[in-house]
Structure formats: C-alpha cells, structure tokens
Structure 1
Amino acid sequence: MANILVVDDELGIRDLLSEILNDEGHNVELANNAAQARAARAKSRPDLVLLDIWMPDTDGVTLLKEWSSTGMLTMPVIMMSGHATIETAVEATKIGAQSFLEKPITMQKLLKAVEAALHRDQAPQGVRKPGPGYVTSPPVPVQELTVEAAMTGGQQIPPPMDIGPQARQTFELDKPLRDARDEFEKSYFEFHLAKEGGSMTRVAEKTGLERTHLYRKLKQLGVDLSRGKRSAGG
C-alpha cells in the first residue's frame, strides 16, 4: 500500500481521512499547515498528497506552485476544499494537481480519487517511475481539461439512479436477537446508502450518526461500500 500525506488545518477532516485510509491499508502522515507539509514532504517522500486549499499560513495552491517550480512535485496531489471556485480547481489542475475533491468528501469519491492517483500509468515529468516488475493499470485516455474533469479528476460521474419505493424486507425471526438486529441494520444502511447515492455525509445526517461512527458501523456489519450508487428499489 501507499504512504499518503494528508494536509488540512481541520482536525476532524484529518482524523476522518486518516481512519478511512488506514482501514484501506495505507500508511498516513498528517500535517495541519504548509510548514508541516514541507517538512513531511522532505522527510518521507509520500506516494500521494491530499492537500487542503484554505490554510492559515500558506494556501494549498501556493504550496502546489512552490513544489512545482522547485521540482518537488514528484508525487500526485489531490486538492481539497469546501469553498473553492471552479476557477481555482482548474488552476490547481493546470499547475499539476491530479484531481480536486469538494468537501464534504464522500468515502466513495475519496477512495476512487486515491486509487486513480496511485495507479497512474504515465507520470508527469519529474515524477519517479515505478521500478522493475511493477504492474501498472492499462493506460487511461487523456481527457480535455474541462470543469468536470478538474472537479472529479477525470472520473465519470454516474447518473443518479431511481431507487423506487422502499423495498419490502423479510427477516428470519427464529434466530438470536443480535443476529436479527445486525441483519436489519445492514439492510437499513444499504437502503439509505443507495437512496443517498453513496454519500456518507448525507447518510450520516439521515441516520443521526457521526461520520466516523457510521463508517465503523458499516465495516462491522459487512456492508459493501464499493457499490456506491445502486438501486434500492424492489
């Protein structure tokens, strides 16, 4: 797995991203400002950086420009922001950012963006190449630099699916209470994940759970988080 540097001045965002990425098997280092990010970049040479745009000392776009102009942009960078404009996303992509994630960041979009960044077949100039024996994914066609590409990292956004009326569920009651409860909760969360298009933020708001608690609960119940947008209708 990869060494990932998460740079964000919000403690909650750092903790949430760290937990999700650690659960996926990645090694995660945290920085809460540009100064710490520079030190971490020089020390550990991360495979990927998740970089917030709005930070108190130096903003993420400025830091990205600094790394690019000094030859330090030797790893893919995913920009993050909850307030950036489309122009900022396009600017960051032109400088060398791999993609742009808009906050609140859903787990589905995060993992897709990270996977795409870590499996780039062709690295930009100055990026270290994979060693012998490294198996890369098939080449990805180069897309035009559009607003959608800048905001999603070139990923195609699946259209919302009609989940229809709530599916009728049948549960076997002749079993221990804990097993029956887990079965119900799994179906409950799968329904709401489908209804909310895989958005962990909206499911957390709908179910009244904090996102970190929700993520742990889904993992515990064995809910398939990779299916994302799908029909919950019967």
Structure 2
Amino acid sequence: MATILVVDDELGIRALLSEILSDEGHSVEVAESAAKARILREQCKPDLVLLDIWMPDVDGVTLLKEWSASGQLTMPVIMMSGHGTIDTAVEATKFGAQSFLEKPITMQKLLRAVEQGLTKPAPRAATPAPQVHLATVTPITAASSYAGINNVVSPVRSELVGGDAHHHTSPVAYSAVQTAPALNGHVPSGPSHEQSFELDRPLREARDDFERAYFEFHLAREGGSMTRVAEKTGLERTHLYRKLKQLGVDLGRSKKAAVN
C-alpha cells in the first residue's frame, strides 16, 4: 500500500486520519507543522500528502507553493480545511493540489479522495501560464441566447487548450471555456437573454459574471435539476450549491425561466 503524510496542527485530526488510513493498510506519517512536514517529506518520500491549510507556523498553501517552486511536488497533495473558501481551493489547485476536503471529513470522502489521488499521475512542476491577452477580446454586447459567446471564447480557448492551462486555471473557468462551443445551437431548450461581459475591470469580477452566466445557462437547459447540472459541470452537488450561493444565482428564478 501507500505511504501517506498527514499534516495538521490538531492532534485529534492527525490521530483520526492516521487510524483510518492505517486500517486500510497504508503506512502513515504525521506532522503537526510545516517545519516537521518538510523533514518527513524528505525522509519518507510519501506517495500522497493530506495537508491542512491553517497551521500556526506556515499555512498549507504557502508550503504547497514552496514544494511546487522547488520541484519537490512529486506526490499528489490533498488540501484540508474547516474554514476554506472557493478562492483558497482554486489557488491551491493552481499550485498543484489535486483536490480539497472540507472538514469535518467523513471516512467515505477521505477514502475516496485518497484512492483518486493515488491513481492520478504526479503533478507537474509549475510552468509559466500561457499568455492570453484579454484586452484584445471584443466584449459580447448582444449575444442573443449566448449564441455569440463562441465568437469571443474561441480564440482564448484555442490558446488555453493548446498549453497547460488546466494546471493554472480555475476548474470552473476552464470547464466553461471548454464547454463554450457546445452552447451554440442549444438555445431553444433555455431562455433568451442578451448577455454582456465588460472586460475592463478586475479579473475576479469578470470571472464571477462569466461563471454566473455559465451556471444560469446550464440550470435553464436542465430544467433546474441540480443533479444534471452537477453532472454537466463536473462539480459535486455540495460544491455546486456553495458556488451558486457565492455567485448569487437565484435557483427559483432559474427554474421559472426553464419552465417558460
């Protein structure tokens, strides 16, 4: 079985995860701080690391960045947190984390994440992200029922997909760029809107608007079914609900739009 390093400043969490993973036949090492984690990473060469975000000396994301920058991120890393945000999870993913577990962690979620982490290839060392010049993209001013979205996204998509963008891009944003060509021709099953994206503003605001439109489209097309939207977008339902709440998507309005 695998050698797994558990990094968490809480003794109870370390003991619980160690017990569960040991019962599954894994060899488990534990560290209560980033300093101890650095030592154990060199000594035991773990096959996978479970890394807490909030720790007293150095936070988990900073340690992840350090390993990535120094070429030491040769093993899958699963981030853990009881107070994490979507932005934190996205940042961790950008620097090589393979998944994110929200505390309290159930045994089923833990074992599934570990199994998936051990079957995935080791993360690549950080490389410069492809240069996408959004300032040169023409805003969508009258994309009736999203039909014109592909005219704007296609040039960006070709550059993103041609590089290693999936290692540097928010999973939701990358999925949206991948899905954009499929939006054309499927408008009859959803509502009609004029969608405008203003690009002369902070990235986070522009990204939120794009993701909001992306999810509203899928909600309308799937008749408001969260199960089908989760399948289409590749998100777990709990993460999908949290994302929609963060974006301020009105689920009731989306269902009415689908009916009309």
TM-score calculated relative to the size of structure 2: 0.50
Equivalence map 1:103-114=2 (5 Å): 103-114=103-114
Alpha-carbon deviation of 1:155?
Answer: 7.3
Match of 1:139 in 2: none
Structure number with larger C-alpha Rg: 2
Match of 1:81 in 2: 81
- Partner amino acid for 2:123? P
Match of 1:123 in 2: 122
- Tell me, yes or no, if the aligned pair for 2:4 and 2:28 is still in contact at 8 Å: yes
The CA distance in 2 between the partners of 1:96 and 1:53, in whole Å, is 14
RMSD: 2.5
The CA distance in 2 between the partners of 1:4 and 1:123, in whole Å, is 14
Structure 2 alignment gaps of length 5 or more: 126-165, 176-232, 239-260
Match of 2:48 in 1: 48
Match of 1:214 in 2: none
- Partner amino acid for 1:109? K
Match of 2:172 in 1: 146
The CA distance in 2 between the partners of 1:82 and 1:158, in whole Å, is 18
Query: Secondary structure of the equivalent of 2:29?
Result: strand
Equivalence map 1:72-221=2 (5 Å): 72-120=72-120, 122-125=121-124, 145-146=171-172, 157=236
1:6 aligns with 2:6: yes
Match of 2:65 in 1: 65
Rate the CA distance shift 1:15–1:155 in 2: closer, same or farther, 3 A. Answer: farther
Alpha-carbon deviation of 1:158?
Answer: 6.6
4+ runs of 1 displaced by more than 6 Å? Answer: none
The CA distance in 1 between the partners of 2:13 and 2:20, in whole Å, is 11
The CA distance in 1 between the partners of 2:10 and 2:37, in whole Å, is 14
Match of 1:18 in 2: 18
- Tell me, yes or no, if the aligned pair for 2:99 and 2:113 is still in contact at 8 Å: yes
The CA distance in 2 between the partners of 1:158 and 1:83, in whole Å, is 19
The CA distance in 2 between the partners of 1:92 and 1:19, in whole Å, is 26
Alpha-carbon deviation of 1:144?
Answer: 7.2
Structure 1 alignment gaps of length 5 or more: 127-141, 160-234
The CA distance in 1 between the partners of 2:234 and 2:11, in whole Å, is 28
Rate the CA distance shift 1:24–1:155 in 2: closer, same or farther, 3 A. Answer: farther
The CA distance in 2 between the partners of 1:116 and 1:47, in whole Å, is 12
Rate the CA distance shift 1:37–1:79 in 2: closer, same or farther, 3 A. Answer: same
Alpha-carbon deviation of 1:84?
Answer: 1.2
- Partner amino acid for 1:157? E
The CA distance in 2 between the partners of 1:86 and 1:65, in whole Å, is 18
The CA distance in 1 between the partners of 2:235 and 2:59, in whole Å, is 28
1:32 aligns with 2:32: yes
Alpha-carbon deviation of 1:85?
Answer: 1.1
- Partner amino acid for 1:92? A
Q: Deviations over 1:78-129 (max 9, x none)?
A: 0000011110000000100010000000111100000000011x43335xxx
Match of 1:168 in 2: none
Query: Secondary structure of the equivalent of 2:112?
Result: helix
The CA distance in 2 between the partners of 1:155 and 1:103, in whole Å, is 21
Number of corresponding residues = 139
